[in-house]
Chains A and B, each alone.
Chain A
């Protein structure tokens, strides 16, 4: 079974802090994604990566950056957390062949910025 893990299930940070969210997948997938999920809205793509050291902006990249130094690990960074970044963050991975390939999701990290 594909396994996508995220470093924290719940996280509380203060405004202005730098926040790191980590995601690891164990299926040697080329593609990895970071989404945020807010009530009443669909998942919105923040960034994705299709290879090591490669990254592409999604629909809402402002206030975020990413890092992919190894194939299995994709990190989301909030340079200076703000209250409007309080959300559920979901990481996903998929093998080469998007958009036909299924994405496998991690359990999510619920981030609260106070």
Chain B
């Protein structure tokens, strides 16, 4: 069964600290993995996208990694800011010849001053 599991469900960190969010998936055959940021009351916005051959990609203070062998991805946030408070959603697409995208439930990040 195609699944995307994220951990932790929620996380509280102090401003300026780093954190890492995890995503494990069983989606097959794998096509690509994306991380989205969703601010409260807003739609998700893409942070990174990685295909099978890519194992790391950065977008400012956000760095995503992908291990296609273990089917794991992580999103590392460096020097967190209050504006990083949001939900982070891992999304995996399968290359089935048709459309199949599986969304994780998200990690809710709270950054405290």
- State the A residues within 8 Å of B (CB): 4, 9, 31, 35, 40-45, 48, 50, 56, 90, 92, 98-100, 102-108, 110
Using CB atoms, name the residue of chain B closest to A43. Answer: B103
B104 and A42 within 8 A (CB): yes
Contact status B32-A105, CB under 8 Å: no
Q: Specify which chain A residues have a CB less than 8 angstroms from the CB of B44 in the assembled complex.
A: 43, 90, 105
C-alpha gap A104/B101 in the complex (Å):
14
Interface of B is mostly: strand
Task: Choose among B32, B43, B94 the residue that contacts A107 (Cβ–Cβ < 8 A).
Answer: B43
When the two chains form their complex, are residues B102 and A102 in contact, meaning their CB atoms are under 8 A apart?
Answer: no
Categorize the interface residue count of chain B.
Answer: 20 to 34
- List, in ascending order, chain A residues with CB within 8 A of B42's CB: 107-108
A-facing residues in B64-113 (Cβ within 8 Å):
89, 93-95, 99-106
Q: State A42–B51 Cα separation when bound (angstroms).
A: 21
- A42 near B43 (CB under 8 angstroms)? no
